[in-house]
Amino acid sequence: MVGMHWQRWLHLLVVVHAASAQRAEPTACHEDVCHCDSFTRLICHCNEHVKEMTLRPEGSYRVPETATAIIIENCERVIFLTETARNLLLLRSVQLRNNSNVIISERALTWSPFSIDNEMYPGLRIEISNSTVYEIAPHAIQGRVNDIVIRDSNILSLRPFAFSSLTGVKNIELTNNIFHNVEIQAFKKFTTSNFLLRGGTAKMLPSRFLSDVEVTDFFRIEGVTIDLLSSLTFLVTLPKRVLIENNIIDTLNADSFHITSRGPVTFRNNTVKTVGKGAFLGFTVDREIVASMGRQELLIDNNTMTTVTPTSLSYNHSTLTLRIDGLNLNLTCTCELAEAWREMLNAQGGIINCWYELEGHYMSIPTFIDSRCGALKQTFWIFVVVGIVLVVVIAGIVIFFIVRRENEKKKKLQIVMPDGKTYRETELHIVVERAELLTTNL
């Protein structure tokens, strides 16, 4: 009861204080492009005359303590100064839309107004859409946050610890963004129910992009085009479900996903050009889950990989079972390739295909082995080749001897006539005829 009274008093105090301050000094509500509505939301729409907004915690044109939301649109530049949110007890939402240059300074959105950090108390929703985020500084966003949503935005720089020490987070959704420069540990040490990275592109996601992040429910990466996933990009524990789907990844390094899950892991319909050795070794399952529910499934379904060896698919046998429901090796089928994968297939089962150049489609490795690499077929082809070689050699020898004999015959048949000239075989017939004639006369 006493607590309730105190809270009410506090609220009243804040409102009264704000009202008196308002008379003394203008707040952001008095900016040309802003107004504060009946819900005490601060709403600013920049225009051709006012193109910049600076959100500050004190002094003239500060954000009023009564603000329940900060909504900023269409600005060329938006800057949140340090500590902007600290004393905004009633703040619930920050929305930035269609701004071309957003800077969130260190601790600008640090918000923990309640002495006990508890999910029962309200938290912030931070939403950035269709904007260019110039920088989210170290420790910019901290404290009691429900949701972080960034979508359709260009992210030029996420500094280390940009999102850190958060409590009670439900959702982090990063949708259709272009990540230019992300630094290590951008998301550092907190718990969220869900983490979603969907659509958009990233040149490189560094080591520890997510560092010591507990995702208690659903960890999902979907439809993203990524040049390089470094080792230990996602250091995550606890998800009940891990889904990595429809991504195009150029290089997937060993241990990029260092995820200790509490449920199955699905890696589906991804195109990965280079798969490092042990790329899947980082997936493991929480010990208690293995003890109570047994090993969980690591499903590799309908993926295409180009530079890949069987060791790329090593996995943690003690906590996971592997099921390969479809893996297209973007490599021309050869018996050596098939041989390299046969052992894995024998031990593991599953559907692994190679590229059958002759007919221009993928063919399952066992089918290829049966039609092309069977022991019998191989010896048959050896017989054919040896046979052809033998025939050619014998023919060569025969021709050689025939030619030699012919030459010798010619030499013998050359005759020297009395006129001192040598005559060829063609002329010889005449000579022979005459000789016969002479004989008859005798």
The CA angle 252-358-309, to the nearest 5 degrees, is 25
Q: Which of 15, 31, 57, 76 binds ligand NAG (CB under 6 A)?
A: 76
Q: Quote the CA–CA distance of 182 and 187 in Å, as a whole number.
A: 10
Which positions from 281 through 300 interact with ligand NAG, judged by CB under 6 A? Answer: 281, 284
Among residues 170 and 268, whose Cβ is nearest to ligand NAG?
268
| Residue pair 184/160 in contact by the 8 Å Cβ criterion | yes
Interface segment toward ligand NAG; rule CB under 6 A; list 55-63, 96-104, 160-168, 173-181: 96-104
302 binds ligand NAG (CB under 6 A): yes
Q: Quote the CA–CA distance of 270 and 267 in Å, as a whole number.
A: 7
Among residues 73 and 106, whose Cβ is nearest to ligand NAG?
73
Interface segment toward ligand NAG; rule CB under 6 A; list 92-100, 137-145, 251-259, 404-412: 92-100
- 202: tokens are 């990233």
Which positions from 349 through 368 interact with ligand NAG, judged by CB under 6 A? Answer: none
Question: Distances in Å between the alpha carbon of 202 and those of 173, 226, 247, 380, 437?
Answer: 15, 5, 11, 52, 105
Q: Could you count the other beta carbons within 10 Å of the beta carbon of residue 242?
A: 24
330 binds ligand NAG (CB under 6 A): yes
Among residues 149 and 248, whose Cβ is nearest to ligand NAG?
248
130 binds ligand NAG (CB under 6 A): yes
Q: Quote the CA–CA distance of 234 and 258 in Å, as a whole number.
A: 6
The CA angle 324-326-327, to the nearest 5 degrees, is 90
Among residues 176 and 246, whose Cβ is nearest to ligand NAG?
246
* Site size for ligand NAG (CB under 6 A): 21
Q: Quote the CA–CA distance of 226 and 191 in Å, as a whole number.
A: 25
Q: Which of 82, 98, 165, 216 binds ligand NAG (CB under 6 A)?
A: 98
Interface segment toward ligand NAG; rule CB under 6 A; list 7-15, 158-166, 267-275, 404-412: 267-275
Q: Quote the CA–CA distance of 197 and 195 in Å, as a whole number.
A: 7
Interface segment toward ligand NAG; rule CB under 6 A; list 109-117, 154-162, 313-321, 339-347: 313-321
Q: Is the Cα dihedral 304, 310, 315, 317 positive or negative?
A: positive
| The three-state (H, E, C) secondary structure of 402-432, written as one string | HHHHHHHHHHHHCEECCCCCEECHHHHHHHH
Q: Which of 153, 192, 304, 312 binds ligand NAG (CB under 6 A)?
A: 304
CB 49 to ligand NAG: min, Å: 12
Strands (E), 199-240: 201-205, 210-222, 225-229, 234-237
Q: Which of 157, 216, 246, 309 binds ligand NAG (CB under 6 A)?
A: 246
Q: Which of 93, 95, 306, 309 binds ligand NAG (CB under 6 A)?
A: 306
| Residue pair 78/52 in contact by the 8 Å Cβ criterion | yes
> Which residues have a Cβ under 8 Å from the Cβ of 71 and sit 6 or more positions away?
41, 42, 43, 44, 93, 95, 97
Q: Which of 14, 15, 21, 248 binds ligand NAG (CB under 6 A)?
A: 248
Which positions from 198 through 237 interact with ligand NAG, judged by CB under 6 A? Answer: none
Which positions from 43 through 72 interact with ligand NAG, judged by CB under 6 A? Answer: none
Q: Which residues bind ligand NAG (CB under 6 A)?
A: 74, 76, 97-98, 100, 130, 246, 248, 260, 269, 271, 273, 281, 284, 302, 304, 306, 316, 318-319, 330
